[in-house]
Structure 1
């Protein structure tokens, strides 16, 4: 099991850098931030930009992997975004993970004056976004000097990147998807899959939805000819109506249940002072001890 933490981009960097350094010191394997222009109940609070935040985090850390949780095509074009990601991956020394989803229907979906999309259109745009990012982020490795993009949603003429990819053949993708078409996209392009479970479910029904979605991914992988075990599985622990870092007991229980369902990675949220994800950062000391203890176990005993 690998452990991740989401640090919301709400603090000025002078204060925020302590959390990113702390995530590495506590032993987390990966650290993430939301890729939104604002977010739900926190829309009227400070909210810093994603790529500069992760770039700064890359400079003050050495080991921990860094990622977007998750990016979307709501307000991004794949050409400039791919160049930003390739540069960030270079600065981090090849530690970047690109989380991508289809994009929600909230503020980010309308801030640039866009009309509302149907679920089908959102998926088709998502699939095109991922496919074009895949090509852009690997194309130096394939010797291309520039190319055109002639898609339904995104176009470009003579697109170029920054140099040879820091990771081969490109940064790993972790795709957020629950539906059949989205899971097919995971099987084609992704190193990993991330889920927050079924919308509106909490408690035991939420855990039931997690099990059903994981089984659905198995079926999609089998149908595509891909080994299901080759896809890393990330679970956002704080999406089922409770906060996993309320206590070390709550966290350990959630991690155990995720492991039983075959997840390779779990992701919690850095405790905030109030509101959503409110809690004490003191629990992170206990989490660090738990992570260190699990790493000390033989592989056959680590659950």
Structure 2
């Protein structure tokens, strides 16, 4: 089992730097921050930007993997975002994990004046976002890229060396990247999905799958839904001709109605149940002083000493 921690982008950098460096020193395998412009019950509180936060974290750490939990197409275009991710990955020395989701239906979905999307539209945008990020982040300047079998992108002009595409949701004309990818073949994707179309997308593009479980479910109902979801991922992978064991499985431990760091015992119990379901990675949230994910840093340190 690998262990991750989410550090919300709420603190001034001198405070946040201590947390990112402590996460590494405590032995966490990966550390994440949310990719939102604001978030739910914390919308009125301080909230920093994702990419600058991860850039600073990359410069302040040496070994821990860093990730977005999870990136949203609600307010991003794949061309500038791919360049940002590739740059952070270069600064981090190839330690980035790119969590990607379909985009929530809350604040981020409307803050820029967007029209409300149907679930079908949200998935179509998500699939195109992932496909284009896959192409962009694999890009090496000497390569000449042609049309994909989906027909989303036009053939690239060899004299230009960029990537062009014209899809339902995104368009680019001879986009350029930053150079050789810091990881081969690109920054790993950890894709969020619960439905059949999303799980098929994971099977095609994901090095990892991340889930918060069934919406609204708690307790035993949550765990039962997770078992079913994990089984459906197995089926989707096999249908795609892929060994399900090649997909890392990340679970947000704090999504089933219990905060994982309320005690060492709670943490150990949740991790054990996740392991029984075949999850390879678990993710908790750094304790906050109050509100959601409220807890004591003392418990975090105890967990690190006993479990990591």
TM-score tier by shorter-chain length is over 0.9
The secondary structure found in structure 2 opposite 1:98 is: strand
Written as runs of structure 1 = structure 2, the 5 A alignment for 1:106-117 is 106-117=106-117
Alignment match of 2:305 (pick from 289, 293, 303): 289
How far 1:291 sits from its partner (Å)?
3.2
TM-score by length of 2: 0.94
Alignment match of 2:195 (pick from 179, 187, 190): 179
Other-structure match for 1:299: none
Other-structure match for 1:168: 184
Q: What whole-Å deviation, never above 9, does each CA across 1:25-67 have from its counterpart, x for those lacking one?
A: 1100000000000000000000000000000000110010000
How far 1:142 sits from its partner (Å)?
6.7
Residue 251 of structure 2 is aligned to residue 227 of structure 1: no
Other-structure match for 2:21: 21
Structure 1 residue ranges, 4+ long, deviating more than 3 angstroms after superposition: none
Structure 2 alignment gaps of length 5 or more: 145-160
Change (3 A) 1:141 1:167: farther
Q: Over the residues paired in the alignment, what is the CA RMSD in angstroms?
A: 0.9
Change (3 A) 1:142 1:190: farther
Residue 123 of structure 2 is aligned to residue 123 of structure 1: yes
Alignment match of 1:253 (pick from 246, 249, 269): 269
Assess if the C-alpha contact under 8 Å between 2:254 and 2:260 holds in 1.
Answer: yes
Written as runs of structure 1 = structure 2, the 5 A alignment for 1:192-231 is 192-231=208-247
Assess if the C-alpha contact under 8 Å between 2:136 and 2:163 holds in 1.
Answer: no
Looking at structure 2, the residues matched to 147 and 56 of structure 1 have their Cα atoms a distance apart, in angstroms, of 29
Other-structure match for 2:173: 157
Structure 1 alignment gaps of length 5 or more: 293-303
Q: What whole-Å deviation, never above 9, does each CA across 1:156-188 have from its counterpart, x for those lacking one?
A: 001000000000110000000000000000010
Other-structure match for 2:36: 36
The secondary structure found in structure 2 opposite 1:69 is: strand
Looking at structure 2, the residues matched to 12 and 255 of structure 1 have their Cα atoms a distance apart, in angstroms, of 31
State the number of aligned residues: 292
Other-structure match for 2:100: 100
TM-score by length of 1: 0.95
Assess if the C-alpha contact under 8 Å between 2:97 and 2:188 holds in 1.
Answer: yes
The secondary structure found in structure 2 opposite 1:99 is: strand
Other-structure match for 1:86: 86
The secondary structure found in structure 1 opposite 2:209 is: strand
